[in-house]
Structure 1
Amino acid sequence: MKTEKKSRANSIGDLRKDQSSRKRCLIVEDDDDLRELLVDAMSGANYQSLGVAGVGEFQEIASAQPWDIAIIDVNLPDGSGYAVARALRQFKETRIIILTGRSALADRLESHAAGGDVHIVKPAHLAELLAVAKTLLARRDENSAADSGWLLENRTSSLRAPSGQKAKLTPREFAVLELLMGNPGLLVATKKLVEAASDHGDDLTSDALRMLLSRLRQRVLKVTGETLPVETIVGRGLIYRPSSG
């Protein structure tokens, strides 16, 4: 048991050190096999994932961490998953999936009252969980961008400024901004941005990324009359810093 706790402590330490832009996922599930399956599935979908077995472990190593998505069982050996959901509501960016065997309307209502965004009844398909998590985070990030006045429009492949003016984007520019605007206020490493841009053509270098961003800044300013709120941290990466209004 001590070894298992030490392993989880190391895992949370690894999450703190990880400076990548990957979304963070918490799994609260007392069934060891299911918890491991969920952690593996979310990790395979490029989430930083941590699994804990109950309320106690959550309070010990995960309660003070900002999570992007949490998948929470209700019936835990040392308390209710609803208590975990309510605790996570202090982080307004966290999206919560309640995963439980309870299917009655009263249970669904209780899940929402506790702060759950979605109530999914076991057994659930992994594909459904992954799709729900992706949708919840996409809506969160879209709302965050819209609140700042800047918005990426998929349909027109453009960036809309607070003024309402739009600047057309190349696929590479769109990919870079999508990654940045999906992580407002967070440093996104140059390596991650290069990888995102390279998915839309030949491999990109860090120097080419700098040129791409320079041209993008100039075009956005010329077309919209507003300065793109992206800060360069030399040698590390970029940060999207939208105005809070």
Structure 2
Amino acid sequence: MDLPPPGAAPHVLVVDDDPTIRQLLIDFLGDYDYKVSAVASGAEMTQVLTRSAIDLLVLDVRLPDEDGIQIARRLREQSDLAIIVITGRRDEADRVMALELGADDYLTKPFSPRELLARVRALLRRSRMHASVTRPASGVRAFRFAGWELNVGLRRLSTPQGEVVSLSNGEYNLLTAFLGAPQRVLTRAQLLELSRLHDDEVYDRSIDVKIGRLRRKLESEGRPPLIRTDRGAGYTFVAQVEILR
């Protein structure tokens, strides 16, 4: 029996004007614990990308409002989002063009949902490996940790239950500093530097107060501790962190 992907459920966005294909992929990928959104046009795709952190895009070449290959090229200029192009065309030139202009993989309709699943898994593995060697967090779209998600573009922190937690500027900067260096001891001086709080902070002990406030938001309601105090050394963010670029 196939196992679902490890960690937080990856978010797959399907863009296809065929409602049958959209529902098929919502149901099939959902059975393997993927979070799936599905829309019919490039305009709707842009709206989803604006408000959500997407791990992988399944993109039809023929859309009512815009050519999928051109969408792939535009997205590739902006990010490293994983893209699988699907199309009813069997012309090799189209396949080569899609790959050269930004798509990571290509499937021709009709395709087996199990083959798409295998390609999704393989591409997400490659994307995670790439993210792990490109730290620190320049150009990051989102961080995921212990079921939480921090959408960097929106500066929005969501709990594992999908609830939004408000953060002050100082708390947000501290959290991104921790997420950029997980499982490493960070001194107070390093946290002040990484969180860019020098301009309004005079004493490094004030970092303890801000960390206390951040802890209360991350560890309330019986949630496991995420920030460990290393006495005499500093603080460590103990959870595994996934970076989306």
Give TM-score scaled by structure 2 length.
Answer: 0.54
* Partners of 2:59 and 2:84 within 8 A in 1: yes
Q: How does 1:43-82 map to 2 (within 5 A)?
A: 43-59=30-46, 61-64=47-50, 65-82=52-69
Aligned counterpart, 1:234: 219
Query: What is the alpha-carbon distance in structure 2 between the residues aligned to residue 26 and residue 114 of structure 1?
Result: 19
| Residue deviations 1:157-178 (CA, integer Å, cap 9, x gap) | xxxxxxxxxxxxxxxxxxxxxx
For the residue of structure 1 that corresponds to 2:110, the secondary structure is: coil
In 1: Cα distance, 2:58 partner to 2:146 partner: 25
| TM-superposed deviation, 1:110 | 1.4
Q: CA deviation at 1:93?
A: 4.2
CA-CA distance at 1:90 after TM superposition:
5.3
Task: Give the Cα separation in 2 of the matches to 1:230 and 1:21.
Answer: 24
> Structure 2: how far apart are the matches of 1:123 and 1:107?
16
Larger mean CA deviation between 140-149 and 73-82 belongs to: 140-149
Q: Judging changes above 3 Å, is the alpha-carbon distance between structure 1 residues 77 and 108 closer, same or farther for their aligned structure 2 residues?
A: same
Structure 2: segments with no counterpart, 5+ residues: 1-6, 137-141, 149-181, 187-214, 227-238
Q: What does residue 140 of structure 1 align with?
A: 127
Q: Given the superposition, is the C-alpha separation of residues 148 and 58 from structure 1 closer, same or farther in structure 2, using an over 3 Å criterion? A: closer
Does the Cα contact within 8 Å between 1:230 and 1:241 map onto a contact in 2?
no
Separation in structure 2 between the aligned mates of residue 36 and residue 87 of structure 1, nearest angstrom? 26
Contact between 2:145 and 2:241, CA under 8 Å: does it hold in 1? no
What fraction of aligned residue pairs are identical, expressed as a percent? 30
**2-side partners of 1:94 and 1:66: how far apart?**
10
Q: Tell me if the contact between 1:71 and 1:96 (Cα under 8 Å) persists in the aligned partners.
A: yes
- Alignment TM-score, normalising by the size of structure 1: 0.54
User: Which string of whole-angstrom CA distances, capped at 9 and with x for unpartnered residues, describes residues 194-227 of structure 1?
Assistant: xxxxxxxxxxxxxxxxxxxxxxxxxxxxxxxxx9
SS state at 2:22 partner: helix
Task: Give the count of matched residue pairs.
Answer: 155
What residue number does 1:37 align with?
Answer: 24
Cα distance, 1:33 vs. partner?
0.8
**Distance in 2 between residues matched to 1:138 and 1:112, nearest whole Å:** 19
Deviation per residue, 1:36-78 (Å, 9 max, x gap): 111211222211111111123223x223243111111111122
In 2, the alpha carbon distance for the partners of 1:52 and 1:75 equals 13
Unaligned runs of 5+ in 1: 1-19, 150-183, 191-226
> Could you say what secondary structure the match of 1:116 adopts?
coil
CA contact (8 A) 1:58 1:84 kept: no
Aligned to 2:112: 125
Structure with the higher fraction of residues in helix conformation: 1
Flag the structure with more relative contact order, 1 or 2, with Cα contacts below 8 A and sequence separation at least 6: 2
Tell me how far apart the structure 1 counterparts of residues 127 and 82 of structure 2 sit (CA, whole Å).
8
Cα distance in structure 1, aligned partners of 2:84 and 2:132: 23
| 1:186 paired to 2:144 | yes
